Amino acid sequence: LDAESWPTPSIATRALSRLVNPGGAPSAEALRAAVVGQTVLVTGASYGIGEAVARRLAGAGARVLLVARSADRLEQLAGELRAGGGAAEAWPADLCDPDAVAALARSLLEANGAVDVIVNNAGKSIRRSLALSFGRPHDAERTMGVNYLGPVRLLLALLPEMCARRRGHVVNVSTIGVRIAPGPRWGAYQASKAAFDIWLRSVAPELELEGVATTSIYMALVYTRMSAPTPSLRRAPGLTPDQAAGLVARAIVTRRRTLAPWWLLPAELLSVGLRGPLALALRLAVRRSADTESARRIAQEFPR
């Protein structure tokens, strides 16, 4: 299943989406004022939210540097953005590969000096039961690689220049999942997203003293190829990639420390206060749900 296979949301789902995901993109003028002439690195720019972010920022006058593994898609997107009058460059790299990340950071700094904004968006999600995960420690390794270790390596190489110039902004596309009770089958994904979220929140005060802002966006469901294979999400209220990109744009304009749906804090408090009953509810939920067809197939076709 890919992003194109999402069913068209009903009017009711769209109305519910507005309710659970209020707020939205800043005005075109505000975004242009914030990013025109700025160099913005967008990881995970070949698909989904990252691609939409790159389009939106390039349209507002930013110079976008596009990172992901799919070199062909990045080149095509960069070409399209340049043809539309924007400034865009493809910088293909695998964030799971420490040498590739080091080489990327070196070349980026040589070519551009410091970047102004880093949108840490590349990500890998896995939904797989424990039973299908036996013998698959690489699920944890690769989610940690792209969701945590790769971004940390990249930032540790790029932040010194930002700190030296005493300006810059790191925007992290996090998930509501790291702030509520962790759902079964999402362990590898949630743990790696939580690791980066905590790392960034931990270094944020030090960065602020150096003049570098951070924003953690706690994104709810977005209709992309990442979420498409999970049947339970297919009728749930969510955002289009372009709407999600609007939130990233809002983060860049406001430089707020966090952006989250209004209901996340109450849900987080309930997750802590009702930990016992929630554990029971999740046990029942596991019994009533199953691994997706693709999770089963992949576990059979690519065992370790």
Question: Residue 66 in contact with residue 74, Cβ under 8 Å?
Answer: yes
Q: Does 122 help bind ligand NAP (rule: CB under 6 A)?
A: yes
Cβ nearer to ligand NAP, comparing 54 with 212: 54
Any contact of residue 187 with ligand NAP (CB under 6 A)?
no
9 is an interface residue for ligand NAP by CB under 6 A? no
CB of 178 to ligand NAP, least distance (A): 9
Residue 150 has φ and ψ, to the nearest 5°, of -60, -55
Task: Determine if 146 is a binding residue for ligand NAP (CB under 6 A).
Answer: yes
Q: Based on the residue annotation, tell me whether 189 is a catalytic residue of this protein.
A: yes
Token pair 């009728």: residue:
235
**29-68 positions binding ligand NAP, by CB under 6 A:** 44-50, 68
Q: Which is nearer to ligand NAP, 13 or 210 (CB)?
A: 13
**Span interacting with ligand NAP, options 78-86, 94-102, 253-261, 287-295, rule CB under 6 A:** 94-102
Residue among 95, 162, 245, 295 that touches ligand NAP (CB under 6 A): 95
CB closer to ligand NAP, 38 vs 46: 46
| Choice from 124, 127, 136, 153 touching ligand NAP (CB under 6 A) | 124
Q: Give the one residue of 32, 69, 167, 234 binding ligand NAP; rule: CB under 6 A.
A: 69
Applying CB under 6 A, which of residues 21, 38, 39, 121 lies at the interface with ligand NAP?
Answer: 121
Bridge partners, residue 120, by sequence? 172
Among the residue ranges 82-90, 109-117, 224-232, 279-287, the one whose residues contact ligand NAP (CB under 6 A): 224-232
Residue 62 Cβ, how far from ligand NAP at the closest point, in Å?
18
User: Interface with ligand NAP by CB under 6 A: which range of 93-101, 102-110, 132-140, 200-208?
Assistant: 93-101
Residue 228 lies near ligand NAP (rule: CB under 6 A): no
Q: Which of 47, 189, 218, 223 is catalytic?
A: 189
Interface with ligand NAP: number of residues (CB under 6 A): 29
Name the packing angle between helices 28-35 and 48-59 (round to 10°).
90
The reply on whether position 219 binds ligand NAP by CB under 6 A is: yes
| SS3 per residue for the chain | CCHHHCCCCCHHHHHHHHHHCCCCCCCHHHHHHHHCCCEEEEECCCCHHHHHHHHHHHHCCCEEEEECCCHHHHHHHHHHHHHCCCEEEECCCCCCCHHHHHHHHHHHHHHHCCCCEEEECCCCCCCCCHHHHCCCHHHHHHHHHHHHHHHHHHHHHHHHHHHHHCCEEEEEEEEHHHCCCCCCCCHHHHHHHHHHHHHHHHHHHHHHHCCEEEEEEEECCECCCCCCCCHHHCCCCCECHHHHHHHHHHHHHHCCCEECCCCHHHHHHHHHHCHHHHHHHHHHHHHHCCCCHHHHHHHHHCCC
Check residue 224 for interaction with ligand NAP (CB under 6 A). Answer: yes
Positions marked catalytic: 189
Residues that bind ligand NAP in the complex, under the rule CB under 6 A? 44-50, 68-70, 94-96, 121-125, 146, 173, 175, 193, 219, 221-222, 224-227
